[in-house]
Amino acid sequence: MTPNKSHWRRWGRNLEQWAYRGLDQHLRVGITGLSGAGKTAFLTSLVHQLLHAEPQHLPMWQALSDGRLLGVQRQSQPDLALLPFDYDNAIAGLCANPPQWPPSTRGLSEIRLALRFAPAGGLKRQLIDHLTLYLDLVDYPGEWLLDLPMLNLEFADWSRQQWQMLSAPPWNETTGAWLAEVEQLSDEAGIEPLAAQYGSLLGELRQSLAATYLQPGRALLPAELAGTPILAFFPLSPQRLEQHDDPLVAVLRSRYDAYCEQVVKPFYRKHFARFDRQVVLVDTLGALDKGHAQITQMADAIQAIQQSFHYGPGSLLRRLFRPRIDKLLFAAGKADHITVDQHANLLSLTDSLMGQSGRLARFSGSKVETMVLSAIRASQQGQVDRGGLIPVIRGVDMAQQAVTRFPGEVPSQLPEPSFWQQQGFEFGRLAPPQLGSVQAPLPHMRMDHLIEWMLGDKM
Ligand code: GDP
């Protein structure tokens, strides 16, 4: 039997459909931020919002409100050498009674979603009924990006910078005894214990004094490198560095160089180079709550993190690999800790931490934006009458007590030290909202804006 016209038409249509299947897309998005910035909460919420997407809950996500999103599914992750992001455990915690925040990020983890959608219009729409966007979300500690500037520094210069920071107030209250011990170091056997103490010291600076710009990043979050000799180095005093024949200087220098070559560079080549888009979560409110030294140091840390996205011709990163991040977002999270009338100030303060001059111009190749959001909204907005209505937030604190707070006014720029004498803040942790069931909507602020930013042009 010879094929008739309709047979050929069917064939042609199948071929075209097949060709358009090639238009299925992959998008790999990095999620980072310094410890406690809210990465795990953010990724948990993002995956939940996508898996259980409802137009009334995510009004700014265009593909969803147009009715073009056909379904979202979890898929097995592409990179079998990475830990899977533990979404189920995070959701189980939010469904528990009382609900629990998910455990924080300790290393790299990944989750893949497949989003099936109808194309927006035009020829594609006539020829194909649906396409799939494979979305890989990779969570990793922002501390690892703080190591990038080390690639441009010799051990001696790095040492001087770190020693100066560790010897200055307010950090020196915690570091004094350790610095004195390093000065006494006389033989190689003393290196390992002092290096182990250095890791704990950085952890303590972060924990009790909210320090953020600490190096090396892996000393804080070593992941698979915990206990390995490649992390066994620390800064020496400027006087010690002057002693050129000191064998200890040579040992520490060689470990520093090995760390840069075998830890920092491979992270950029193997992981960072594969991201198409990047979200950096910034806990501006947390640093503001702590004080002037902390927020100033966080501004330095954010500016150091930005170097990872500065890959113009001749830059260090371009020499290392071919970066392809086309969109970069700095998101000031946990915005449910403040009243909504303060959100504009939070945005402008976060902008000022990033360094105002030519912020956009500095990133050749990437479009940079800032946003204010709350991944998991744990408060409601309200008002109380104090001889006039004042805005407040209401929630439940970590001791499960109902609280009503006036969190304080957020400055729109990095304030002077005297600011902290005049004004206090009340940004203490809130308990997460209870998720009635796995499918129930997870309250948020602006996660729909975030999804539109991340996926809008791909669907
Ligand atoms: P990570 O270290 O960057 O992974 O940070 P986490 O995601 O573990 O967040 C640290 C803590 O910040 C959580 O345990 C919560 O107390 C808080 N947090 C994170 N995101 C939000 C949010 O959207 N709203 C509120 N109220 N708290 C948040």
How many angstroms separate the alpha carbon of residue 334 from the centre of ligand 1?
Answer: 7
Q: Pocket of ligand 1, candidates 48, 137, 334, 377: which has the most ligand atoms within 8 Å of its Cβ, to mutate?
A: 334
Query: Mean pLDDT over residues 407-428, rounded?
Result: 86
Q: Whose CA is nearest to atom 9 of ligand 1?
A: 38
Query: Mean pLDDT over residues 43-49, rounded?
Result: 98
- Give CA–CA dist 127/118, Å, rounded: 11
Task: Look at residue 424 in the predicted model and tell me its pLDDT.
Answer: 74
| Ligand 1 pocket member 109 (CB < 6 A) | no
Q: Tell me the percentage of the chain whose pLDDT exceeds 70.
A: 91
With 60 as the cut, is the pLDDT of residue 418 above it? Answer: yes
- Give CA–CA dist 357/315, Å, rounded: 19
With 90 as the cut, is the pLDDT of residue 279 above it? Answer: yes
Q: Pocket of ligand 1, candidates 34, 91, 104: which has the most ligand atoms within 8 Å of its Cβ, to mutate?
A: 104
Task: Look at residue 361 in the predicted model and tell me its pLDDT.
Answer: 40
| 223 vs 108: which has the higher pLDDT | 108
The string of pLDDT tens digits covering residues 368-394 is: 889 999 999 999 999 998 888 899 999
Query: Mean pLDDT over residues 414-425, rounded?
Result: 84
Rounded-to-10 torsion of CA 444, 446, 450, 453: 160
The string of pLDDT tens digits covering residues 79-123 is: 888 999 999 999 999 999 999 999 998 889 999 999 999 988 766
Report the mean per-residue pLDDT for the chain. 89
Q: Whose CA is nearest to atom 18 of ligand 1?
A: 38
With 70 as the cut, is the pLDDT of residue 9 above it? Answer: no
| Ligand 1 pocket member 30 (CB < 6 A) | no
| Ligand 1 pocket member 393 (CB < 6 A) | no
With 80 as the cut, is the pLDDT of residue 64 above it? Answer: yes
| Ligand 1 pocket member 90 (CB < 6 A) | no
Task: Look at residue 14 in the predicted model and tell me its pLDDT.
Answer: 61
Task: Look at residue 356 in the predicted model and tell me its pLDDT.
Answer: 55
With 70 as the cut, is the pLDDT of residue 248 above it? Answer: yes
Task: Look at residue 77 in the predicted model and tell me its pLDDT.
Answer: 87
| Ligand 1 pocket member 33 (CB < 6 A) | yes
With 70 as the cut, is the pLDDT of residue 222 above it? Answer: yes
When pLDDT is cut at 50, 70 and 90, the band that residue 358 belongs to is very low
Nearest ligand 1 atom to alpha carbon 139: 4
Which residue segments constitute the domains of the chain, with CATH numbers given? 14-140+273-376+435-458 (3.40.50.300), 153-270 (no CATH)
When pLDDT is cut at 50, 70 and 90, the band that residue 3 belongs to is low
Task: Look at residue 29 in the predicted model and tell me its pLDDT.
Answer: 97
Q: Tell me the percentage of the chain whose pLDDT exceeds 90.
A: 63
Task: Look at residue 359 in the predicted model and tell me its pLDDT.
Answer: 53
| Ligand 1 pocket member 101 (CB < 6 A) | yes
C-alpha distances in Å from residue 311, one per residue of 147, 320, 363, 396: 16, 10, 7, 44
Among left, alpha and beta (phi > 0; psi -120 to 50; other), residue 67 is: left
Nearest ligand 1 atom to alpha carbon 430: 26
Which range among 9-23, 144-158, 426-440 shows the weakest confidence by mean pLDDT? 9-23
How many angstroms separate the alpha carbon of residue 44 from the centre of ligand 1?
Answer: 11
Which range among 6-10, 130-134, 365-369, 384-388 shows the weakest confidence by mean pLDDT? 6-10
| 320 vs 169: which has the higher pLDDT | 169
Query: Mean pLDDT over residues 279-302, rounded?
Result: 92
Task: Look at residue 357 in the predicted model and tell me its pLDDT.
Answer: 42
Cβ neighbours for 340, distance < 8 A, ≥ 6 positions apart: 381, 391
Task: Look at residue 245 in the predicted model and tell me its pLDDT.
Answer: 84
Which range among 19-28, 298-307, 325-334, 342-351 shows the weakest confidence by mean pLDDT? 19-28
Task: Look at residue 195 in the predicted model and tell me its pLDDT.
Answer: 94
With 50 as the cut, is the pLDDT of residue 161 above it? Answer: yes
